[in-house]
Amino acid sequence: MIEFFTDIGLTKYDLALIVFCPIGACIGSFAHAITLTINVDKAPSREGEYMLASKQMQIIRSNWLGLRILLGAILGLIIALYFIGSIQENISTICKISALSILAGYAAPKIWVMQEILLINRLENLINKKVDINQ
């Protein structure tokens, strides 16, 4: 299987990016989900402060967490693809880009929302320019 990728021109470092960046982004997504779940400013101070959710809510939260991590993995793959073929082939570069993917995974929902806003603005600008030309 690896031979196929090396035959099309990917190096071992490129393959490492394709593996490590989505994993790193999943870790970042999971870390963000943890900060949303717990009070990061202080530990629980009273018994009963945290209660177990119902089975239905646990399923909903599990689905949310899975989708949140998948969103991070997709963003990690995009980061990996962006850097393929353009890095210095050493472990330091792989580590730096993997760390970037962890941070991106942590911020994945905000990044996707910003991308959507930028895309909508660009489309609206293109539509407005066409309208102005025809008038």
Residue 15: how many CB atoms within 10 A of its CB?
A: 15
Provide the pLDDT for residue 77: 92
Rounded to an integer, what distance in angstroms lies between the CA atom of residue 73 and that of residue 10? 20
Number of residues in the chain: 135
Mean pLDDT for the chain overall: 84
DSSP helix/strand/coil, 135: coil
Spans of all domains in the chain: 2-106
Token couple for 20? 């490590």
pLDDT digits (tens, 9 = 90+) for 55-95: 998 899 899 999 989 988 998 999 999 888 888 888 888 88
Task: Compute CA distances 53 → 63, 69, 71, 75, whole Å.
Answer: 14, 21, 24, 30
Provide the pLDDT for residue 130: 64
Rounded to an integer, what distance in angstroms lies between the CA atom of residue 25 and that of residue 76? 5
Of 18-27, 72-81, 121-130, which range is least confident? Answer: 121-130
- Judge whether residue 27 has pLDDT over 90: yes
In this prediction, residue 21 has a pLDDT band, given cuts at 50, 70 and 90, of: very high
| Arithmetic mean of pLDDT, 85-110 | 87
Global pTM exceeds 0.75: no
Percentage of the chain beyond pLDDT 70 is 90
